[in-house]
Structure 1
């Protein structure tokens, strides 16, 4: 959809005061999304910059993606952690195969955001936080399930599996239908328990507790409770899902003003493997530790 010129000019005018204030700021305003992983990553960024003596101000867990992204573009904040695959939706390019390759997804979103918004994507973490399907570990062992090929085989073999998921996961072309298309199966909709919202903690608990016979769940691959709830994530060998690796995104003007930002954050995100990020998330969501304390302990361990 094209925005009428008068509306575009009005939006530009509305954003000018925020941009003017941003240019006058003497601190980097750090933000993050409202979810638990967003809070953890935001604290990692904040503490790493403070240790590098970059003046920073926190506005963490500001809201969902659309709120935080709009605040960055408007200059109300300067830096926050985003996921590479969201570039597919920011730029209306969901069909581009680049989003299913870690390197290609990062390179593409980095180029598009630099050209369109003067935003810089700093080095990403090697942790793909994408949609996945997990099954109870006892069932996975009994049926020898470890990949989505194995999952598809069991779906086709009978009525063993019952899935807990959100409506978005079931209906969105990028979620369950993408798995079905890539692996050649169709999960019977009458064997799906649709839970309100997109909270994977609810779907995982349903599988762990066998609610309504559920033994499989929609998850995100870095969910902290996966191991605690004794679930096994099915490996997506055919890349049905887009890649969602977290990376700090910063306004170019602020990066030029504080060039120490990039070297302060690169070694931190380089250490965030899938297993490590899942473990850090578990300390917050399962053990109940404050995200700031978890972030500080992790940075202390890096030296």
Structure 2
């Protein structure tokens, strides 16, 4: 993940030079592709990162992944994880689900559908933690970083420089666990997104 974040200054400069868009301080969360494992499996086998997963699979760990065909086949998705972390899943260790809906893959792992105990997921998916899964970290930075980041026109920021000051602590508070919880309120509890956001900002003291 740090590899991706080191590229941020270059991206910021390119957008400013071409479009006069200023990128402000990003959130620490990363909403990129990952693999999420059932918490009971993760805890029993001390799985916190994809490197841990690769080592565990090398020792014969029982594993079955629910994912979309795109995730399974795209060179920059599962194959990239396998190459980086030294594992190779057999066909009987994969359950391909139609479409790219991570709520379906996470649900399959939570319910152990067809023996599944892991799922394709995004880093801030609400159902991950809510349904008892753990998103594994990607220490080698295989996937691009998708960090929520506020952007603003340079002329608008020049007129209202306090915007950057106000937004910085808001976005700094948005780590993966926080966004998973907020997204779960919307995806699983059916709450209104605007109300969830407003409630969070009030609880944190960002607005009254």
> TM-score, with normalisation over the residues of structure 2?
0.87
Give distance in 2, aligned partners of 1:178 and 1:252. Answer: 37
| Residues 130, 181 of structure 2: 8 Å contact kept | no
Q: Aligned residues, how many?
A: 205
| Residues 154, 161 of structure 1: 8 Å contact kept | no
Query: C-alpha deviations, 1:27-46, integer Å up to 9, x for none?
Result: xxxxxxxxxxxxxxxxxxxx
Give distance in 1, aligned partners of 2:181 and 2:99. Answer: 24
Give distance in 2, aligned partners of 1:252 and 1:172. Answer: 37
Q: How does 1:63-142 map to 2 (within 5 A)?
A: 101-142=3-44
- Tell me the secondary structure at the aligned position of residue 283 of structure 1: helix
Give distance in 2, aligned partners of 1:144 and 1:274. Answer: 20
- Tell me the secondary structure at the aligned position of residue 244 of structure 1: coil
Distance 1:265-1:144 versus aligned 2 partners, 3 A rule: closer
Give distance in 1, aligned partners of 2:146 and 2:203. Answer: 26
1:101 Cα offset (Å) = 2.4
Q: Which position in structure 1 is the counterpart of 2:181? A: 279
1:112 Cα offset (Å) = 1.4
1:202 partnered with 2:84? no
Give distance in 2, aligned partners of 1:261 and 1:165. Answer: 40
The one of 177, 181, 184 aligned to 2:83: 181
| Residues 102, 245 of structure 1: 8 Å contact kept | no
Give distance in 2, aligned partners of 1:271 and 1:145. Answer: 25
Give distance in 1, aligned partners of 2:62 and 2:177. Answer: 29
Q: Which position in structure 2 is the counterpart of 1:69? A: none
Q: RMSD of the alignment, in Å?
A: 2.1
1:240 Cα offset (Å) = 2.1
The one of 31, 39, 47 aligned to 1:145: 47
Bigger relative contact order (CA 8 A; separation at least 6): 2
Query: C-alpha deviations, 1:91-119, integer Å up to 9, x for none?
Result: xxxxxxxx852541321211111122222
Q: Which moved more, 1:155-164 or 1:212-221?
A: 155-164
Give distance in 1, aligned partners of 2:73 and 2:153. Answer: 35
Give distance in 2, aligned partners of 1:171 and 1:254. Answer: 43
Q: Which position in structure 2 is the counterpart of 1:191? A: 93
> TM-score, with normalisation over the residues of structure 1?
0.62
Q: Which position in structure 1 is the counterpart of 2:134? A: 232
| Residues 126, 270 of structure 1: 8 Å contact kept | yes
The one of 140, 143, 166 aligned to 1:241: 143
1:158 Cα offset (Å) = 3.6
Distance 1:272-1:159 versus aligned 2 partners, 3 A rule: closer
- Tell me the secondary structure at the aligned position of residue 217 of structure 1: strand
Query: C-alpha deviations, 1:227-258, integer Å up to 9, x for none?
Result: 22111222222222222211012233443454
1:259 Cα offset (Å) = 4.1
Q: 5+ unaligned residues in a row in structure 2: which ranges? A: none
Give distance in 1, aligned partners of 2:67 and 2:203. Answer: 36
